[in-house]
Amino acid sequence: MHSTVSRVAVEVGDSVKAGDVVIVLEAMKMEYTVTSPYAGVVTGLPAAEGSTVEGGAILAVIEEKDEQ
């Protein structure tokens, strides 16, 4: 299924916690929130706001860090 990246909530270099919103996708007039699975630092954002992505696409790259 194709989705449109409606919002990128982070920037490269941002620290995120598990559960933080990273990207919001829109498909079939519904929004889907993509969250970080773990704490870390955003090191890449291959998906740009307004772009169309396919299922399974890499949307963000997060380098895992221990939460302390």
Around Cβ 22, how many Cβ atoms within 10 Å? Answer: 21
Do 17 and 39 touch, CB atoms closer than 8 A? Answer: yes
pLDDT at 22: 98
Q: Which residues constitute the domain of residue 44?
A: 2-64
Report pLDDT digits (tens) over 35-67: 999 999 999 999 999 999 999 999 999 999 876
Q: Please check whether residue 51 is in contact with residue 27, taking contact to mean a CB–CB distance below 8 angstroms.
A: no
Both tokens of residue 10?
């982070």
Q: Which residues contact 8 (CB under 8 A, 6 or more apart)?
A: 22, 23, 45, 47, 48, 49
Residue with tokens 């919002």: 7
CATH of the domain at 15: 2.40.50.100
What domain count does the chain have? 1
Q: Tell me the pLDDT band of 33, cut-offs 50, 70 and 90.
A: very high
Mean pLDDT of 25-42: 97
**pLDDT for the residue 68:** 55
